[in-house]
Amino acid sequence: MTSVALMKVAATFFLGGFFSLVTIINPPSALPLFTALSAPLNNAEQRRLAVTACTYSFFILIVSLFAGSLILNLFGVSYPALRVAGGICVLLLGHGMLFGHGGVNSAAQGAHANPAFFPLALPSITGPGTIAVVIGISTEIRELKGAGQEAVAYLATVAAMLATCVLTWLVLRSARVISVRLGSGGIEVLTRLMGFLLLCVGVQFIASGVRSFVAGG
């Protein structure tokens, strides 16, 4: 395998992985939830929350890439079940953001002892759709011919994941500046709008999973 061919594999999997992940994660979509969760925190704590959430997201992506299919098969979980379960989580998050039942802050201080992991890293940043995309990339890598191509493809994909998480971190650490620009009214409007969009995404995930169940059954 020539170096040119390996560079082509690296470019293909880096660019394909990066644009796929950025598209489905959509870093700005996590801003309303992050802003609500970090509202009582000072600047240093907010930055720490952003770093921790993105670090969790990176490790979720890594686990999905190298062991996602194995874990699903081990527990007998199908892709449709993953989409339905993830859709329910997203649906509940969207409902809380849209109608403000109890507020995101109170939920984070109560039920969610580690908001950096849930609900920020999972499912806000790395949801079921993201995990499914990464597992799909891993199946493509395993179809390559030669250990050299596989190794390069894995390295390029990991680099794409890291770049996506860095971009997400840059967006989150700017949340307070964006909040100041928008004001409390603008943030409330944005939060409720994103809550509605999350409701739609959750319904779409559930509908997609149900369709797959029916087609497979």
**Which 3-state string (H, E, C) describes 157-217?**
HHHHHHHHHHHHHHHHHCHHHHHHHHHHHHHHHHHHHHHHHHHHHHHHHHHHHHHHHHHHC
Quick check: 141 and 13 in contact, CB under 8 A? yes
pLDDT attached to residue 187? 67
- Residue 101: pLDDT band by 50, 70, 90 thresholds? low
Read off the pLDDT of residues 150-185 as tens digits, 9 standing for 90 and up. 999 999 999 999 999 999 999 999 887 877 777 767
Query: Amino acid identity, residue 190?
Result: L
- Residue 111: pLDDT band by 50, 70, 90 thresholds? very low
Q: What is the DSSP letter of 29?
A: G
Read off the pLDDT of residues 135-149 as tens digits, 9 standing for 90 and up. 878 888 888 888 999
* Domain extents in the chain: 3-78+104-178
Q: What is the mean pLDDT of the chain?
A: 82
Q: Which two tokens stand for residue 213?
A: 């169940």
pLDDT attached to residue 112? 57
Instruction: Indicate whether 198 pLDDT > 80.
Output: no
Mean pLDDT of 72-93: 76
Q: Which two tokens stand for residue 111?
A: 């039920």
Give Cβ neighbours of residue 70 (< 8 Å, ≥ 6 apart).
Answer: none
User: Does the predicted model carry a pTM greater than 0.85?
Assistant: no
Read off the pLDDT of residues 7-46 as tens digits, 9 standing for 90 and up. 999 999 999 999 988 878 888 878 878 887 887 888 899 9
pLDDT attached to residue 152? 95
